């Protein structure tokens, strides 16, 4: 039994025993902070079931690090398990840096926002620097930049002339907008987002790239805050954000008017909303639990099974963002399904920790219906509303593509008495788009199989020129033509590190039942695995930007584990911090090294060749 002044984890007198003090395995801190974890699905070595009570499969899995479910010790505060406290920087750090206690307190108090904002400032400077270069319509900007301009002016996409790109660049965007509706295969939300930048800054490269750069920058801020909440560590949250700030694929997508960066932003925002909702719902459960004579909350089956969480605005916000994601590209549907399942499982875990004997039944009674209503219908309504410009366009043949279908080809439909014309026309349009997507198999130079994405096997060249010496930035003494390229390639060192991080996350989830690893794995799976169903389709590596934030979270989790638990010896911590620091610096160096081919900077052809590490990158 702990003596007077000692917490359940053996804390020294004068220190508060938190959940992080009693869960020793891999608290995922950097050299600065430790991370608390809730034990409904995380690992706990103490209070395990006796050896004779474990099943044969549990005993066999012990060799892989599996830990059996733990029983409550009766001494811990369930509130710390439901909503673990945020880690605080070690006193050893401040002592080493000779920081006075008062200053250390101020730094710790402001670091929760100060650290993420500093990382975001770096990301913003990188993304907005010379944003209008190359002054050209690169890759699929030829579709989305012009579609966005038409949407914000006409409400639907139009057909442009073949020389429209040259005319737009030559006239600074002062070109007439055609009236002939165009058949497009992606919903309008992402194009409306791009159009906002054009509306503010003009119909030119800076204008149509502004919003993707802004959302790319804000996504770094979100990831820092999400990582902080997920790991309960400001350091690891900022590390995850910093890794994404220096990822080449995220960088290039933030500086290009394509839809996938917008989709990534909405997906990450939805995940963040669900994470906040998780904490708030668990806090309400914790507040409802009874306390013992020592003021510690204790599990209670009646409270856990009958407490109603009440209004959950963050779930509504998640539904809104998921609707915007689907309204950008349809693969947001898979993410909606995965996140809904994840959120319900979080509710089951919360009620189990609170003491529910039948947590699934309790969730079915109190949570499941509202979980569905606050996400799926909200997402559907958001998606339909995103088509408002097309819906309000004329149905006499001068409006959006297929807008007049119900009054023309679909006049004799069996459903015409039930659904309005615009609904039937939209349904027909969406059906045609679906058939297009599932049948798309035309070859493309830069198409790739999703098996190669995780190792950055086949990047996509968005822009390439060979300027002569003395022109377009090519040094006059180059001797031969230079190379000027914008290559959508993730920072190789980061992606190859992420390969190991994914394996580590899966191990943490399967064998240590770490809910944080499960959440990261869910984000990766939802954005990645569906593409394996369409391997015969024409698909591209840059689609992977959607699950890139979760790869960065996985990498941060792995680096935190390399640093080691805060109670490790100084030798272990120094060695771990050195190894993690070297890996992080390698990622940063790698980004700097590839900077010219991310930004379209002219370099000698030999320098370009030296950066083509794999034959498949050419």
What per-residue confidence (pLDDT) applies to 278?
Answer: 96
Q: Is-contact 155 277, C-beta < 8 A?
A: no
Determine the distance from the C-alpha atom of residue 349 to the mean position of all C-alpha atoms in its chain, rounded to a whole number.
23
- Residue closest to 448 by CA, chosen among 457, 461, 438: 457
What per-residue confidence (pLDDT) applies to 22? 32
Contacts of 493 (CB under 8 A, 6+ apart): 583, 586, 587, 589, 590
Pairing mode, if any, of strands 603-604 and 482-488?
Answer: antiparallel
233 within 8 A of 560, measured Cβ to Cβ: yes
How far, in Å, CA of 544 to CA of 503, rounded? 18
Tell me which residue of 41, 48, 51 sits closest to 82, measured CA to CA: 41
What is the pLDDT at residue 30? Answer: 35
Closest CA to 248 of 459, 106, 440: 459
Taken as a whole, the chain contains a residue count of 618
Among candidates 374, 372, 364, 266, which has minimal Cα distance to 314? Answer: 374
Q: Which two tokens stand for residue 193?
A: 């987002």
Q: Measure the CA–CA gap between 580 and 588, rounded to whole angstroms.
A: 13
The torsion angles phi and psi of 482, rounded to 5 degrees, stand at -95, 175
Supply the pTM of this predicted model.
Answer: 0.89
DSSP letters of 131-152? TT-S-S--TTHHHHHHHHHHHH
Note the pLDDT of residue 69: 53
3-state secondary structure of 462: strand
Strand partners, 302: none
Contact 272, 222 (CB under 8 A): yes
Give the pLDDT score at 490.
97
Give the Cβ contact number of residue 222 at 10 Å: 20
Three-class DSSP category at 516: helix
Report the C-alpha gap between 113 and 221 in whole angstroms: 9
Is residue 557 within 8 A of residue 508, CB to CB? The reply is yes
Residue 613: how many CB atoms within 10 A of its CB?
11
Tokens of 344: 């319900």
pLDDT in tens, 450-475: 999 999 999 999 999 999 999 989 99
pLDDT of residue 14: 37
Q: Are 403 and 394 spatial neighbours (Cβ–Cβ below 8 Å)? A: yes
Q: CA torsion sign, 209 to 210 to 211 to 213?
A: positive
Pick from 161, 121, 125, 149: nearest CA to 205? 149
Which regions of the chain are under pLDDT 70? 1-75, 90-93, 415, 417
* Distance, CA of 155 to CA of 148 (rounded, Å): 9
Q: Are strands 482-488 and 460-465 parallel, antiparallel or unpaired?
A: antiparallel
């Amino acid at each position: 039994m702990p003596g007077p002044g000692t917490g359940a984890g053996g804390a020294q007198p004068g220190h508060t025993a938190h959940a992080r003090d009693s869960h020793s395995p891999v608290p995922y801190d950097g050299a600065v902070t430790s991370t608390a974890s809730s034990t409904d699905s995380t690992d706990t070595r103490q209070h395990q079931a006796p050896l004779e009570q474990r099943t044969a499969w549990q005993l066999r899995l012990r060799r892989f690090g599996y830990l059996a479910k733990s029983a409550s010790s009766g001494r811990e505060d369930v509130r710390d398990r439901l909503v673990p406290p945020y880690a605080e920087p070690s006193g050893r750090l401040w002592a080493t840096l000779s920081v006075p206690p008062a200053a250390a307190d101020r730094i710790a108090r402001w670091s929760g926002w100060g650290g993420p904002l500093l990382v975001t400032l770096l990301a913003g400077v990188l993304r907005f620097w010379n944003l209008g270069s190359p002054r050209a319509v690169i890759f699929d900007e030829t579709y989305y930049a012009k579609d966005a301009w038409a949407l914000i002016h006409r409400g639907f996409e139009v057909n442009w002339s073949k020389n429209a790109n040259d005319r737009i660049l030559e006239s600074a965007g002062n070109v007439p907008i055609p009236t002939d509706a165009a058949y497009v295969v992606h919903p309008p939300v992402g194009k409306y987002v791009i159009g906002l930048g054009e509306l503010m800054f003009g119909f030119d490269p800076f204008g149509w790239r502004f919003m993707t750069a802004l959302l790319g920058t804000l996504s770094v801020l979100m990831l820092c805050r999400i990582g902080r909440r997920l790991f309960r560590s400001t350091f690891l949250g900022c590390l995850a954000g910093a890794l994404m700030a220096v990822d080449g694929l995220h960088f290039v997508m933030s500086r290009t008017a394509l839809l996938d960066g917008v989709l990534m932003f909405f997906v990450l925002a939805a995940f963040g909303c669900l994470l906040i909702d998780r904490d708030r719902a668990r806090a309400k459960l914790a507040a409802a639990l009874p306390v013992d004579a020592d003021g510690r909350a204790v599990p209670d089956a009646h409270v856990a099974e009958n407490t109603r969480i009440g209004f959950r605005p963050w779930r509504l916000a998640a539904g809104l963002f998921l609707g915007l994601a689907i309204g950008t590209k349809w693969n947001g549907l898979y993410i909606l399904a995965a996140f809904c399942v994840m959120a319900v499982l979080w509710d089951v875990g919360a009620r189990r920790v609170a003491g529910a004997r039948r947590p699934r039944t309790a969730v079915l009674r109190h949570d499941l219906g509202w979980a569905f209503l606050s996400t799926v219908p909200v997402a559907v309504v958001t998606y339909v509303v995103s088509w408002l410009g097309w819906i309000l366009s004329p149905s006499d043949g001068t409006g959006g593509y297929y807008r007049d279908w119900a009054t023309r080809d679909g006049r004799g439909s069996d459903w015409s008495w039930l659904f309005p014309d615009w609904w039937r026309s939209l349904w027909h349009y969406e059906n045609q788009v679906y058939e297009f997507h599932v049948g798309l198999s035309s070859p493309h130079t830069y198409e790739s199989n999703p098996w190669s994405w995780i190792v950055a096997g086949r990047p996509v060249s968005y822009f390439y020129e060979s300027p002569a010496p003395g022109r377009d930035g090519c040094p006059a003494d180059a001797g031969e033509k230079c190379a000027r390229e914008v290559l959508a390639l993730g920072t190789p060192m980061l992606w190859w590190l992420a390969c190991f991080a994914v394996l580590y996350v899966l191990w943490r989830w399967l064998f240590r039942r770490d809910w944080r690893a499960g959440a990261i794995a869910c984000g990766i799976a939802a954005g990645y695995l569906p593409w394996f169903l369409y391997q015969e389709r024409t698909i591209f590596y840059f689609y992977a930007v959607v699950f890139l934030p979760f790869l960065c979270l996985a990498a941060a989790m792995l680096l935190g584990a390399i640093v080691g638990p805060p109670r490790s010896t100084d030798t272990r911590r120094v060695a771990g911090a050195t190894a993690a620091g070297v890996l992080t610096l390698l990622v940063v160096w790698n980004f700097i090294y590839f900077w010219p081919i991310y930004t379209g900077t002219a370099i000698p052809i030999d320098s370009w060749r030296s950066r083509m590490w794999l034959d498949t990158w050419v």
